[in-house]
Homo-oligomer: A and B are copies of this chain.
Amino acid sequence: MTAFLYERIAEALEQSIRQGTLKEGDKLPSVRHSSKQRGVSPSTIFQAYYLLEAKGLIEARSKSGYYVTFAVTKSSRPTYQIEKQSHPTPKQLDSVSIIEEMEELRDSSTLIRLSSAYPAPDLLPTAKIQKAIIEATRMNKGQLLPYALPQGNKALRSIIGKQLLEWGDYYTPDEMIITTGCMEALNLCLRAVARPGDIIAMDQLTYFGIAQMVENLSLQVIAIPIHDENGLDIDFLEKAFQSFSVKVCLSVTNFSNPTGAVIPTGQKQRLVKLLHQYQIPLIEDDIYGDLYFDTTRPSTCKQFDEEGWVMYCSSFSKTLAPGFRVGYCLPGRFLSAVLQQKRIHSISTDSLAQLSLLHFLQKGRYSFFLRKLRTALHKQSLQYAQAIRMHFPKEVSFLMPQGGMVLWLSFPARFDGYQLFRAAKEQDIGISPGQVFAVEGSYKNYIRLSFSHPYDEKVETGLKQLGQLAKKLLH
């Protein structure tokens, strides 16, 4: 999607703020001046300033102009202690009991949730979806109660296929399967290509539900190391392809959970080439891909996949309706095998949720809403980051995420994220200790914080308390 002129101007200013060229308290050039200088209409400048204001980066002061309100210091450079394997070695995963402890927090109504990687209810278009459900229910008498097709509602597949134009090709309904959330999509794809004992190469750091799923299927795991701040170690992966009969790869390619990392486009292209060369499928989990803060959407491996080795998976769970459990996949050459898995796992996906989402999407409300959601999340990321810099020990470092809804905080090596988790739990604050995401390595000096809840007093208090706890544990 091409960005509007005002968006490009806002983006440039934002980068200046993020890099510290424009500092807190700095006055922005006046609209008239800026319009003349850039050779654009004053209203374009106004729109750019409005956008930055909406993101909480600048504010208008009465009769004076626009001022930068965010102090993003330069200390945000991360100091990942990347734990690298020198040789690929398959192994079986162990369940982590900490996850059970984390689950206990789920029901608490008083908890300050810094642990949930899905949008807070306030960010979702509840009223609009309520309306869509009611209209879809009234209009679809005959389709409501019978089983939906195993492959999913055809009109829904068609409209999703068209939306994917944003990053790649148009996909036909026949290439897509609707699933019960992204989790089922990953499950079905995995089971379609791998049998117990097979070797999987997957992200070194990943959502623990994915790791458990892999463990449950009795697969042997090769952890692909993180290459740099962003991206995977593709050389290591190639070594693995050469040394072992790797059956399948699995990666969250954009705004990874927990790291927020995006695999650079060049690496994605190289990865797809390798897949083709070795004839190994990749399950690409792009569930956060639509939540980018820049003006353009990040690329996907799927868009470079001309031979159908990429099994693309995503859903509406992180953007629209987590509870509906509607996801989708583009399994490429493995379509019929995945469809067969769908039949024996859940027969079909809920007809009512599919019809309701279809109705919402048909009204063209999705892209408008996504834009709003991205702006809100971006603003929250900056607000949370600022609070962390203010209240946390100065040794903490992290990359500013360019999308998604999590921050991956690195502490000095002696720090134990699990201790902080326990201490925070006592004070009714939920966080995720780093080790639960580690497929390889310990990452015990990391924690994941979610910025999915609007920044309010409760969150501010929580972050303050958390910072104090971290200082106490560290010193």
Please list the residues of chain A having a beta carbon within 8 angstroms of any beta carbon in chain B: 103, 106-107, 118, 121, 124, 126-127, 129-130, 133-134, 137-138, 141-150, 180-181, 183-184, 187, 191, 195-197, 209, 212-213, 216, 218, 317, 320-325, 340-341, 343-353, 356
Residue of chain B at shortest CB distance from A343: B209
Are the CB atoms of A180 and B325 closer together than 8 Å?
A: yes
A317 to B320, CA, bound (A): 27
Chain copies in the assembled complex = 2
The 4 closest A-B pairs by CB, nearest first: A323-B351, A196-B196, A350-B350, A147-B322
A147 touches B134 (CB 8 A): no
Q: A181-B347, A322-B145 are in contact. Are A216 and B341 (CB under 8 A)?
A: yes
Question: Quick one: which of B106, B143, B347, B353 contacts A350, CB cutoff 8 A?
Answer: B353
Are B133 and A145 neighbours in the complex by a CB distance under 8 Å? Answer: no
Q: Is the CB of A180 within 8 A of B346?
A: yes
Are B347 and A325 in contact, CB atoms less than 8 angstroms apart?
yes
For A323, list chain B residues within 8 Å (CB): 143-148, 348, 350-352
Output the least CB separation between A19 and chain B (Å). Answer: 37
Contact of A352 among B141, B143, B184, B352 (CB under 8 A): B352
**Which residues in B have their C-beta under 8 angstroms from that of A118?**
146-147
Whether A346 touches B325, Cβ cut-off 8 Å, given contacts A133-B133, A180-B180, is: yes
Residues of B within 8 A of A187 (CB): 344-345
In contact, A349 and B325 (Cβ under 8 angstroms): yes
30 contacts between A and B (CB under 8 A): A106-B150, A121-B145, A124-B145, A130-B137, A130-B144, A133-B352, A145-B322, A145-B324, A146-B323, A147-B317, A148-B323, A180-B325, A183-B346, A187-B345, A196-B218, A209-B343, A209-B344, A212-B343, A216-B344, A323-B348, A323-B351, A324-B350, A324-B351, A325-B346, A325-B347, A325-B350, A350-B352, A352-B352, A352-B353, A352-B356
